Structure 1
């Protein structure tokens, strides 16, 4: 085995960030879950839009502001229709906007759970002794690169660290402690498995 198996991993987070809010029903700080529903309030030519969240314990509501006093003419008809029809893709995009959430509430709980869709770019599994992985993220995730690789390849994080120290695992762009940082779109990882006894199992796991 002497070739390189080149793969694209499309990574999609599973659980949207949850703002931590002082719930006036529960009487304490609680996590709030996105309902997937928008509230659109029109007052003359002005429109307010919120994404509705619910307390995970008592179902109390909290509104995540999307538009405030926006002139109707400044909102494209297709976007307004998507908001009024609770378009799932649009709701998901706003629900994963952790920066905007933090700007409104401060404290947000993030989750590392992801789904990885693997697509072959080149090479053959039965002749591969190295992996070249390119990452594409639907949205930012807090999942560390070493955890992602360990989960998907079926090997330990300590082993990944050892491979990196031997320069058998290279991350591009190669920043300090790259494996311990969150996975990012555009990251490329090359792993030389030619001396590993379980290289075939790792190659199979990499390709899904």
Structure 2
């Protein structure tokens, strides 16, 4: 049997929103990172916050990152990134779910995301493909949403692929599970092209990137 191996990287776009009652709007609103940190120095200790802003107004809410941390215990390079509002750090802390939980932040909807990696249909002369899913950030995404997008199929068609022995190592209940960590599944291309009626007749009109 000729096997192929591809990787799909689930990469969120933007930030993970949080939900909070906005005192200015007087209703629950989505809050997103403003792109800035607040650093407060008191002698040899520091307080650091990631500043969030209401999606509709200028009301802000601070998410604690460090409270009363000794300056000697904070990496000097990280300290400088806080002071210069490094956007990579803003994004990294926006997806720090344990930090958000510690701040009693209620998560908003899963942010939009892209799936980087080739389509299995692009593998010619391959009988079975091993697909590894990796997450750049631990966003909760249903497996069915990943598969429908990358395989260019409907939900019903993806479910049938399990019944027909095309998608291996999966049960129908797995499709609605929300995954946050890497996983691997197998797909029989030989069995896929044997389906009647065929789901994929050629690779000329399907996503390959």
TM-score relative to the length of structure 1: 0.86
User: Cα offset for 1:175?
Assistant: 7.1
1:133 match: 131
2:178 match: 182
Does the CA-based 8 Å contact 2:140-2:180 persist in structure 1?
no
2:67 match: 68
User: Cα offset for 1:54?
Assistant: 0.6
- Superposed, 1:1-208 pairs within 5 Å as 3-118=2-117, 125-171=123-169, 177-192=173-188, 193-196=192-195, 197=198, 198=200, 200-201=202-203, 205=207, 207-208=208-209
Question: Structure 2 vs 1, CA of residues 184 and 201 (structure 1 numbering), >3 Å: closer, same or farther?
Answer: farther
Does the CA-based 8 Å contact 1:4-1:123 persist in structure 2?
no
Task: Write the distance in 2 (CA, Å) between the matches of 1:178 and 1:112.
Answer: 21
Question: Structure 2 vs 1, CA of residues 148 and 123 (structure 1 numbering), >3 Å: closer, same or farther?
Answer: closer
Q: Which runs of 5+ in 2 are unaligned?
A: none
User: Cα offset for 1:91?
Assistant: 1.0
Question: Structure 2 vs 1, CA of residues 156 and 112 (structure 1 numbering), >3 Å: closer, same or farther?
Answer: farther
Compute the RMSD of aligned alpha carbons.
2.6
TM-score relative to the length of structure 2: 0.85
Does the CA-based 8 Å contact 1:9-1:136 persist in structure 2?
yes
User: Cα offset for 1:7?
Assistant: 0.8
Does the CA-based 8 Å contact 2:2-2:125 persist in structure 1?
yes
Question: Structure 2 vs 1, CA of residues 155 and 4 (structure 1 numbering), >3 Å: closer, same or farther?
Answer: farther
Task: Write the distance in 2 (CA, Å) between the matches of 1:64 and 1:85.
Answer: 17
Task: Write the distance in 2 (CA, Å) between the matches of 1:91 and 1:155.
Answer: 36
If asked which structure has higher relative contact order (CA below 8 Å, sep 6+), I would say: 1
Does the CA-based 8 Å contact 1:49-1:65 persist in structure 2?
yes
Does the CA-based 8 Å contact 2:121-2:206 persist in structure 1?
no
Q: Which runs of 5+ in 1 are unaligned?
A: none
Runs of 4+ aligned residues of structure 1 deviating over 4 Å after TM superposition are none
Question: Structure 2 vs 1, CA of residues 69 and 78 (structure 1 numbering), >3 Å: closer, same or farther?
Answer: same
